[in-house]
Structure 1
Amino acid sequence: MNTKQFERMRKDPGFIAALDQSGGSTPKALKAYGIEETAFHNDEEMFDLIHQMRSRIITSCAFTAQHILGAILFERTMNSKVEGMDTADYLWEKKGIVPFLKVDKGLADEADDVQLMKPMPDLEALLKTANEKHIFGTKMRSVIKEANPIGIKKIVDQQFEIGLQIVKAGLVPILEPEVSINSSTKKAAEALLLKEIQEHLVKLDDDVLLMFKLTIPTETNLYAPIIDDPHVVRVVALSGGYTRKEADDLLMKNQGLIASFSRALLSDLSAQQTQEEFDNALKQAILEIYKASVH
């Protein structure tokens, strides 16, 4: 583990930029950026376009360590280059921003009101590559739709099982058991989620370190016990479909919770903007999210 990166993630003010849209969400991300599906004819062209977008964000004068602690990358982004450097090396060496990697392969079909993660048969090889590419940590997402105790237990069991595998590989996992903001039982689901997480945390060895990415809770400061747990480096929040203003307003009510936004960070960016317009739009979004994260 890189000690400087660890100290930065544990102590410094700021937030994590989520730049990890994968194959399924890439067309939607490109469309939001002003690039229609007619602009590409296959996956290679699509991924080239999304890498151009991500490179534009990462190299922007607005994208700095002053406000951004880390950035979550998609696997292809990790294996690509920015200005001739591996993306993770560019982030850390040029920008002072800690690189993370999305490792899940998407969501399984819904059962027990949740969507577990699909199997990850190549995880060990991916973690080996991540270490070689100087990645600090990982992120993996599953989704809770309703307050079903059976489903929520399965979600947390899976997240911790794979999380401990990642810890053994020398990386810091971000566990992301997202609760849908559209859930009719969101508050109850979050209470069940907290209980399950706490039951797993008390069983961990003292040297195990991990992070969480959670939906901003209905009950303010619900996740304070997780934030204060000695095993937890940081707890970050996903925007989950909220607008940036909605997510920022909710985030500011929760002490110690910082942002890890994707759509809410990138929503004002467009391929058609001049570089000055692009930098200014990104800077404004970053400043707003930073303010909500350091209240």
Structure 2
Amino acid sequence: MPDAEKMARFATGRGFIAALDQSGGSTPRALRAYGIDESHYADEAQMFDLIHTARTRVMTSPVFDSDRILGAILFQGTVDRTVAGMPVVDYLWREKGILSFLKIDKGLEDEQDGVRLMKDIPGLDATLADAAARGVFGTKERSVIGAGTDDGVRSVVAQQFEVAERVLAAGLVPIIEPEIGIDAPDRRRTEEVLKAALRRHLDALGDRKVALKLTIPIVDGYYTELTEHPSIARVVALSGGYSRAEAVERLARNPGLIASFSRALLEGLSVDQSAEEFDAALDASIEAIYRASIT
């Protein structure tokens, strides 16, 4: 059972989720955006050292705090490290009042029926037990829907809830992420099928609570009924390739949704910035995303 204080913070607090969970495949792109190209590291170990240094700069910034940020989604390699001499999860909660979520998916299968299911997650139960012991509050697991058939969309949702059942059994809160590509054909129809499938599975949860991470819908307010479902702790939105300006504009038109942005959150940050420049840029980003999340 999730900690009551933490659940209240997540379910009712004002703010958003910072996605700091770039893993092996997305780390080079994240580092390039930060001003560090492949010439600066010789192997994967050096690459992960560099991205952890960048994440540490974000997490230890005075503007990165619980006044505007509810939680942070982390890669396993980040959870295994320290910040300011403390385990990352402990630092975020004890020093910042910010919840930790662990990215648990191991990537995506090849596309079938217009969707990409999650790959198998070896050792999931052990990973969840370890995360709970470290004080992690929840998890995040991502699938992708492109030109999805109805059956494909339903298969994504079914797999997501199968994994969510194991997360709930471990005493953690799952963030279920069936991402629809913003360029997906007939996206409006896909959103209809997705919402109906999500509703069916939510209705079967009883008094257990999960979170959803969804692409901002085409029709403003389309997911309001999901935010009001008794088995929903929170519905968060991904930026999905939109610029930060467009993502926050769209998010602000969807009351009840809060942000869970990654690239859009870190947009404009650079390794070459002074501490003052970095904090100012991060503060502006956090403020814009926060404002859109509390409308």
The Cα of 1:205 is off from its aligned counterpart by 2.7
2:235 aligned with 1:235: yes
Q: Distance in 2 between matches of 1:68 and 1:203?
A: 30
Task: Report the equivalent of 1:31.
Answer: 32
The alignment of Structure 1 onto Structure 2 pairs a total of residues equal to 294
Q: Distance in 2 between matches of 1:46 and 1:61?
A: 25
Give the secondary-structure state (helix, strand or coil) at the position aligned to 1:242: coil
The Cα of 1:193 is off from its aligned counterpart by 0.2
Q: 1:244-255 alignment to 2 at 5 Å?
A: 244-255=244-255
TM-score if structure 2 supplies the norm length?
A: 0.98
Task: Report the equivalent of 2:114.
Answer: 113
Structure 1 counterpart of 2:222, one-letter code: L
Structure 1 counterpart of 2:151, one-letter code: I
Q: Distance in 1 between matches of 2:205 and 2:264?
A: 34
Q: 1:262-281 alignment to 2 at 5 Å?
A: 262-281=262-281
Could you list the runs of 5+ residues in structure 1 that have no partner in the other structure? Answer: none
Q: Is contact 1:258-1:294 (8 Å) kept?
A: yes
TM-score if structure 1 supplies the norm length?
A: 0.98
Residue deviations 1:21-40 (CA, integer Å, cap 9, x gap): 01000000000000010111
Structure 2 counterpart of 1:48, one-letter code: D
Deviates more, 1:196-205 or 1:112-121: 196-205
Residue deviations 1:73-102 (CA, integer Å, cap 9, x gap): 000000100011010100000000111110
Q: 1:129-278 alignment to 2 at 5 Å?
A: 129-206=130-207, 208-278=208-278
Structure 1 counterpart of 2:279, one-letter code: D
Structure 2 counterpart of 1:277, one-letter code: E
Residue deviations 1:93-144 (CA, integer Å, cap 9, x gap): 0000111110000111111000000100211111011012110000000000
Give the secondary-structure state (helix, strand or coil) at the position aligned to 2:261: coil
Task: Report the equivalent of 2:23.
Answer: 22
Q: Distance in 2 between matches of 1:144 and 1:67?
A: 30
Structure 1 runs (4+) deviating above 3 angstroms are none
Superposed CA RMSD in Å reads 0.7
2:286 aligned with 1:286: yes
Structure 1 counterpart of 2:197, one-letter code: E
